[in-house]
Amino acid sequence: MIDWDNEPLLGRIRDSPLGRLLGVSRQAVGHARKVRGMPSAAAPRVDWDLQPLGRCLDGDLDRKLGVPRGSAWQARRRRGIPLFVETESKRSALKRRPLKLLKLTPEELSRVELLERYGR
């Protein structure tokens, strides 16, 4: 039996994770919380009109704001804002290691640069 009055996480974290932690259903946690007049520990409220929707990747914005995945996408779509498209992806640029960081000898470096320039 759970002593809900002395449960420190009730209303402080979402009902589903607390239910898993305590071995009860999400509905049981929600019921215990509501009986005690406690608000839900929902995702943070976001004023989407102040966010850079369409100027960065939706997933990056979700992570930055700490909201569920897909929240920025939904907010952007509701406002009719087009999808952000990267011309030169920062991610792909970060995946490529600069040649100087590979610790190549000057001869190897010039050979690699020639191969990159002429494709062979």
Q: What does the domain layout of the chain look like in residue ranges?
A: 4-35, 48-78, 96-120
Kindly tell me if the per-residue pLDDT of 58 is higher than 70.
yes
Tens of pLDDT along 98-114? 544 556 667 766 676 66
Inter-residue contact 58 to 79 (CB < 8 Å): no
Q: Looking at the whole model, is its pTM more than 0.75?
A: no
Element (H, E) at 29: helix 26-35
Tens of pLDDT along 11-42? 888 888 899 999 999 999 999 999 999 888 77
Which residue matches tokens 């898993």?
20
**Average pLDDT of the chain, as a whole number:** 81
How many other C-beta atoms can be found within 10 angstroms of the C-beta atom of residue 75?
20
